[in-house]
Structures are given as structure tokens and as C-alpha cells.
């Protein structure tokens, strides 16, 4: 597991549901075929209404036309990120697009579990309203040991909540890796 | 220690006497449900993690009900069905309900009840957020992702954080102008779409226990719309009669202790409630139908796991009997059984099917259809500038198809009354 995650921020509002993260019509692609997998990156966050995409200005597409990955590594969002359906395609699509971490005020349960147990992206929570502070395109640096995120653009540092109980699963890289390490499943 | 019904069911599954909200426990899973959207990637992860030749933990406990993208020309959707079929064959799964055969059932949450998989006291996980529907049967049902489902497939176990519970009590009799949909939209408007995140939503009271099972399923179905881990209703005579008519499997009944601790307790008097809608673009955006009356609609949609059960169509038929719809109206039975029941169930001497046909509705084949948009050729899929009144569960941007459509969530009564006038209409005008 990396100890630093650094990259550009993409800022969203609250209640970003899984239909906005990956619209249902795209759920038909294979999650294992390398060529089809790229399409999940292409359509990641394509369901977000344009005015709310890339705050504070909005109207910034997460993935540029013709591209399969985003220029952004860290998602900043308000409350209840990932509400809606159970589709694991949602954190997967974000990972394929190049996202490594999300910092939100809170998460919907299934999305949060999927991030952790699938080892797709790290779901950080923070008590701060970063969606109102950070601007899309700001360069951020997350220090995983210190549970902080530094905004290199604005020179501010913000506190993140510790991952707590799920840290060991995140560190292992997902529920399977964790279960093997802890001897919770028969070795295949 | 006094416990809620949810704690007791989880304690049983964890081989414990007590569990405490906030602790993580490993649960023995009774049933794993999956469908055509999440089944194939789940099986991929299973094969990859457990290796070639690995067997599922218990074939009897795996239920595969394709329902999402069934009646479409989309090749990728067909491929997903092929992948389900292949895995079911390799693993010899007895509970696979194949598309294009007389085993096809339709929307998984409704079919689980019809096929007797909903058993009081048990733990059922499914790769669909509306798996919480099963909680209407005094059991724990909750949605999970593909990785968690693959873990269960191989081990029969999953970790879960024991939830705190929120109690919602409905006193009084249900007035004929309300349905369970109005009750849950009322709650969602009060608590918001994350008001129950990581918590259990427990429903009780005189009005709840007078409801038929299918109406109770509407309540528990939309627990996830409040962020709930599960929705749950204790077993009564109505539950037992339903379960016994579907299966002879044994089950255990749990109830909340009188002194169990709750995160919150909320009481409603049904006589004070009104028909409501959830306005675009969130299930918690509640308004009374009265306050929205006259809002023009372009489409009415009656279907899905939430609003496509026989009980929902009985309510819609009460309104549509002898009437004509003035906007395109889709009737989408959740399952094949519901579709058949539309032919045999009578209202004022006429079958529900003929009531809907005579009113000018179009009746679709049973599946999830446009509830979640789906491939471009999906029946009822919303297009730009559509304003839909729908008995489904979500109205997030783009949920039913176009990002530029607006969806009002409503009861079958309100969806039917609005279909007649082409405007949001209080069902009391037609009762």
C-alpha cells in the first residue's frame, strides 16, 4: 500500500448516486475483458448533471471526450457519496478512470463496503466541508499514515477521519487478501 | 441484554447470544441472491479467487434470478445471461431461473417471496441494493457488491457491522387513498436519503400489521432509499400464512425485546397522512400530491420490485376501472406470476388485465425494465423532457433513462389517477 496519494482533485456535491457514477446502460460491459474494461473509465461519472460536474465552476467533464481515463486522482464530495444501487461497477469505474481515493463527508453503506472489500479506491471520511473549500484541479497530497490531506495549490492541510476497523482490509488490498492473511478462508 | 429483532437475527447467524450495535461480526449466510447484472462479475471474482474447479459453498443456497436486462436486443446483455447459464450448469445450481424457459420468473425480490426463499429469522444477502425487501418477512436482507458476494459464494460467510435500529410505528387503520408507498415516502421526506445509513429500519404498528405481505415489501424495499442496511417487520399471522403457502422449510421467529435500545422512535398516525410524491431528483424530496396537483406529466409507469406486485396493480385497477389514460402508461408486472394473476384477478367482475387494456395502458413483459433505464430499447425508458410519474423506487438524475427527464415517485393510486388526467392528481378524486 502506498503511503502517499498525490494528484488533482475533482469536486462534486452531495448525494452522488451510483447512477451518476456509472449509468445503468453501461453495466453490460465485461469487468474482466481488458478492452471492455476501458469503457468503464470512459463513462465514469458521466451521469452527473453537467452543472454539478467539477465544482465550483461546474460543466467540467470528469473524463475528456475521446479519453478512457481522467486527469484526476482524488474525488472530493459532500454527504452520502455512492448512494443508490449495489453496483460494484461504480467504484470499479472510478478506479479504471484513475481515481485512487475519495474524500467525502459520508458514504452509503454498500458503496463504502465495495470500495474497501474490492480494494478499488480508498474511501476517506472527513468532518470538514471540503467540497466547499477545494476547487476542481487543485493538487492534493494524502498522507495515509498521518490521515491528512494537503492542498498544494492553496497551501492548506485538512484532517481526515482514521479508517478505523477497515484499515486492515484496505491495507491488505481487499477482503480476499485480508481473509488469506488472517486465515479466514481455505487457501485456494 | 435486551435486543432488537435485527440484533437477534444477526446473533443467531454469528452463533452468538448477543450482538451489540457497532461491532463487526462474521455471519453465516442462509441465502445468496444474484442477477444478470452482478452475477457474471461475481462469478468471475469467485473463479479467480477460489481457483479452477472450486465449488460454491452450498448450491441450494445460491439463487440466481435474471431480471434486469431481459427483453432487449443488446448483445452484451445477452452475453450476461449466457454467463449465468454457464456458471449455473458448471456448479449444478438448482435455483437458477433461466431466461426463455418456463422457469423464468422476473424481478428477483418479488420472485424470492413467491418461491419461498424468504424465511423468517434467516440472513439473505444479494447483489442488489433492494435485497432489503426480504426484511418484510421478519428476516435480515441486505444488498452487497460483487466481491462480497463472491466471498460468500466460496465461504458462506460475510462480515457485517451490527446496525443500530430506527423504529417507525404507524398507528390507526390505512385509509383507502394511501398505500405503503405513501408511508415510506413520508418517512424518507423526514429522514433524508442518508438518515438511516448503516442502520436498521424497523416498522410496526396497527397499520403495518394490517397490510398484506406485498405492501409490507414496498416499505422494506425502500429502506435503502434512506441509506438503511435493512428494513424489517416482525412476523405475524399474515407472514406465516404467506410463508407456509410457499414452502415447508422450518423457520425461527424473532421479536424485539420491549427494552431494546433504538437510535430513534417515530410515530405516525395514518389518519393524518396524505398521498405524497417524491419530486425530482431524490426519493426524499417529498411533497403532498395536493400541493403538486396540475403538474403536467408525459408518462405514467407502474412496475418494478417496489410498485409492480399484484397488490400494486389491484390499487391501480381501482382507479383505472372504466377510465381512459391520457398519457402513455406502462404496466410492467414484476414477475410472470404477477402477469398471470392480472388475467385471473377480478375487480368489479373484470380482470385487471382487461381493465388496464380498456383504459389504454400498454402491458409489458415482466422484468426490471425502465425502473433503472437500461439499454436503449427498454420498454418505458424515459427520453429527454419526459415527466414521469412512477411507482418505482428512485428518481435520481438519469435513473429511468434520460438525464433530462424528471421522475415523480408515487403510489400506484396516484400514478393511476395522474395517468387519467395527464397531470399529478390526488387519487381521492377517483375513489
Q: What is the pLDDT of residues B242-251, one digit of tens each?
A: 999 999 999 9
> Could you tell me the pLDDT band of residue B415, with boundaries at 50, 70 and 90?
very high
Q: Please give the residue range of the domain that contains residue B39.
A: 5-250+261-267
Asked if residue B169 and residue B108 are part of one domain, the reply reads yes
**Which residues in chain B have Cβ-Cβ distances shorter than 8 Å to A29?**
76
Asked if residue B176 and residue B75 are part of one domain, the reply reads yes
- Judge whether residue B3 has pLDDT over 90: yes
- Cα separation, A90 vs B308, in Å, equals 27
Q: Are A114 and A88 in contact (CB under 8 A)?
A: yes
Asked if residue B120 and residue B64 are part of one domain, the reply reads yes
- Cα separation, B326 vs B359, in Å, equals 9
CATH of domain A4-181: 3.20.19.10
> Among all chains, which residue has been given the C-alpha cell 469503457?
A39
Of B267, B292, B322, which marks where a domain is finished?
B267
How do residues A64-87 score in pLDDT, each as one tens digit? 999 999 999 999 999 999 999 999
**Residue of A12, A53, A61, A85 to mutate for B, most B C-beta atoms under 10 A:** A85
Q: Which residues contact B410 (CB under 8 A, 6 or more apart)?
A: B181, B185, B275, B276, B277, B278, B289, B389, B390, B391, B418, B424
B76 vs A: CB within 8 A: yes
The residues that bridge with B363 in the sheet, in sequence order, are B331
How do residues B221-266 score in pLDDT, each as one tens digit? 999 999 999 999 999 999 999 999 999 999 999 999 999 999 999 9
- Cα separation, A158 vs A130, in Å, equals 8
The predicted model gives B72-78 an average pLDDT of 97
Asked if residue B389 and residue B320 are part of one domain, the reply reads yes
Report the number of distinct structural domains present in chain B.
2
Asked if residue B310 and residue B243 are part of one domain, the reply reads no
| Structure ipTM | 0.95
Asked if the structure places residue B25 within a domain, the reply is: yes
- Cα separation, B220 vs B225, in Å, equals 10
Write down the pLDDT at residue B154.
97
Chain B, residues 153-212, CB within 8 A of chain A, namely 154-155, 157, 159, 161, 193-194, 197-198
> Could you tell me the pLDDT band of residue A187, with boundaries at 50, 70 and 90?
very low
Average pLDDT taken over every residue of chain B: 98
Write down the pLDDT at residue A1.
80
Of B267, B293, B323, which marks where a domain is finished?
B267
CATH code, B286: 3.30.499.10
The predicted model gives B324-337 an average pLDDT of 98
Asked if residue B304 and residue B232 are part of one domain, the reply reads no
- Cα separation, B8 vs A117, in Å, equals 25
> Could you tell me the pLDDT band of residue B69, with boundaries at 50, 70 and 90?
very high
> Between chains, do A28 and B227 touch, taking CB under 8 Å as contact?
no
How do residues A117-143 score in pLDDT, each as one tens digit? 999 999 999 999 999 999 999 999 999
Asked if residue B239 and residue B117 are part of one domain, the reply reads yes
Asked if residue B296 and residue B243 are part of one domain, the reply reads no
Q: Are B402 and B386 in contact (CB under 8 A)?
A: yes
A95 vs B: CB within 8 A: no
- Cα separation, B79 vs B75, in Å, equals 6
B242, three cell numbers: 404467506
Asked if the structure places residue B107 within a domain, the reply is: yes
CA angle B239, B60, B367 (to 5 degrees): 65
B413, three cell numbers: 393510486
Write down the pLDDT at residue B232.
99
- Judge whether residue A186 has pLDDT over 70: no
- Judge whether residue A188 has pLDDT over 60: no
- Cα separation, B113 vs B247, in Å, equals 10
How do residues B280-323 score in pLDDT, each as one tens digit? 999 999 999 999 999 999 999 999 999 999 999 999 999 999 99
Q: How many residues does chain B have?
A: 431
B393, three cell numbers: 423506487
Q: Are B236 and B206 in contact (CB under 8 A)?
A: no
Write down the pLDDT at residue B1.
86
Asked if the structure places residue B272 within a domain, the reply is: no
Asked if the structure places residue B255 within a domain, the reply is: no
Asked if residue B343 and residue B296 are part of one domain, the reply reads yes
Please state the domain extents for chain A. Answer: 4-181
Left, alpha or beta for A123 (phi > 0: left; psi -120 to 50: alpha)? beta
- Cα separation, B219 vs B181, in Å, equals 7
Amino acid at each position: 500500500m502506498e503511503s502517499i496519494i498525490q494528484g488533482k482533485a475533482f469536486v462534486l456535491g452531495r448525494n452522488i448516486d451510483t447512477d451518476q457514477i456509472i449509468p445503468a446502460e453501461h453495466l453490460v460491459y465485461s469487468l474482466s475483458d481488458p478492452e471492455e474494461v476501458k469503457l468503464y473509465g470512459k463513462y465514469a461519472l458521466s451521469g452527473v448533471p453537467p452543472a454539478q460536474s467539477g465544482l465550483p465552476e461546474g460543466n467540467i467533464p470528469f473524463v475528456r471526450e475521446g479519453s478512457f481515463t481522467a486527469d484526476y486522482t482524488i474525488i472530493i464530495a459532500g454527504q452520502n457519496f455512492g448512494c443508490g444501487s449495489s453496483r460494484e461497477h461504480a467504484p470499479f469505474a472510478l478506479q479504471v478512470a484513475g481515481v485512487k481515493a475519495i474524500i467525502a463527508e459520508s458514504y452509503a453503506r454498500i458503496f463504502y463496503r465495495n470500495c474497501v472489500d474490492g480494494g478499488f479506491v480508498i474511501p476517506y471520511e472527513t468532518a470538514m466541508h471540503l467540497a466547499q473549500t477545494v476547487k476542481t484541479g487543485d493538487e492534493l497530497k494524502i498522507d495515509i499514515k498521518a490521515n491528512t490531506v494537503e492542498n498544494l495549490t492553496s497551501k492548506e492541510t485538512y484532517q481526515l477521519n482514521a479508517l478505523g476497523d477497515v484499515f486492515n482490509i484496505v491495507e491488505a488490498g481487499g477482503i480476499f487478501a485480508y481473509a488469506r492473511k488472517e486465515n479466514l478462508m481455505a487457501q485456494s | 441484554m435486551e435486543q432488537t429483532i435485527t440484533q437477534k437475527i444477526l446473533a443467531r447467524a454469528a452463533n452468538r447470544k448477543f450482538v451489540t450495535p457497532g461491532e463487526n461480526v462474521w455471519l453465516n449466510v442462509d441465502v445468496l441472491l444474484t442477477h444478470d447484472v452482478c452475477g457474471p462479475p461475481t462469478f468471475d471474482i469467485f473463479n479467480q479467487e477460489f481457483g479452477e474447479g472450486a465449488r460454491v459453498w452450498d448450491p441450494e443456497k445460491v439463487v440466481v434470478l435474471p431480471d434486469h436486462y431481459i427483453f432487449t436486443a443488446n448483445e452484451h446483455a445477452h452475453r450476461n445471461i449466457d454467463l449465468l447459464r454457464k456458471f449455473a450448469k458448471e456448479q449444478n445450481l438448482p435455483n437458477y431461473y433461466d431466461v426463455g424457459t418456463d422457469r423464468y420468473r422476473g424481478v428477483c425480490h418479488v420472485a424470492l417471496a413467491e418461491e419461498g426463499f424468504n424465511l423468517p429469522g434467516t440472513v439473505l444477502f444479494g447483489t442488489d441494493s433492494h435485497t432489503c425487501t426480504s426484511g418484510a418477512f421478519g428476516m435480515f436482507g441486505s444488498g452487497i457488491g460483487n466481491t462480497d458476494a463472491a466471498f460468500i459464494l466460496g465461504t458462506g460467510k460475510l462480515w457485517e457491522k451490527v446496525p443500530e435500529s430506527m423504529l417507525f410505528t404507524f398507528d390507526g387503520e390505512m385509509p383507502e387513498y394511501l398505500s405503503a408507498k405513501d408511508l415510506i415516502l413520508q418517512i424518507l421526506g423526514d429522514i433524508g436519503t442518508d438518515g438511516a445509513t448503516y442502520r436498521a429500519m424497523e416498522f410496526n404498528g396497527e397499520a403495518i400489521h394490517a397490510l398484506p405481505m406485498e405492501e409490507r415489501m414496498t416499505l422494506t424495499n425502500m429502506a435503502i432509499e434512506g441509506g438503511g442496511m435493512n428494513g424489517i417487520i416482525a412476523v405475524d399471522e399474515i407472514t406465516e400464512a404467506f410463508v407456509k403457502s410457499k414452502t415447508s422449510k422450518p423457520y425461527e421467529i424473532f421479536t424485539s425485546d420491549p427494552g431494546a435500545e433504538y437510535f430513534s422512535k417515530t410515530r405516525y398516525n395514518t389518519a393524518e397522512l396524505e398521498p405524497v410524491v417524491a419530486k425530482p431528483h431524490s426519493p426524499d424530496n417529498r411533497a403532498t400530491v395536493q400541493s403538486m396537483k396540475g403538474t403536467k406529466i408525459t408518462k405514467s409507469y407502474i412496475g418494478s420490485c417496489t410498485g409492480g406486485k399484484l397488490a400494486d396493480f389491484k390499487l391501480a385497477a381501482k382507479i383505472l376501472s372504466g377510465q381512459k389514460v391520457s398519457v402513455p402508461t406502462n404496466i410492467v408486472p414484476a414477475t410472470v406470476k404477477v402477469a398471470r394473476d392480472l388475467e385471473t384477478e377480478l375487480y368489479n367482475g373484470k380482470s385487471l388485465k382487461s381493465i388496464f387494456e380498456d383504459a389504454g395502458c400498454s402491458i409489458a413483459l415482466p422484468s426490471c425494465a425502465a425502473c433503472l433505464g437500461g439499454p436503449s430499447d427498454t420498454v418505458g425508458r424515459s427520453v429527454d423532457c419526459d415527466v414521469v410519474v412512477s411507482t418505482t423506487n428512485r428518481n435520481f438524475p438519469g435513473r429511468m433513462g434520460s438525464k433530462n427527464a424528471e421522475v415523480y415517485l408515487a403510489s400506484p393510486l396516484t400514478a393511476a389517477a395522474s395517468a387519467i388526467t395527464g397531470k399529478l392528481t390526488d387519487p381521492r378524486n377517483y375513489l
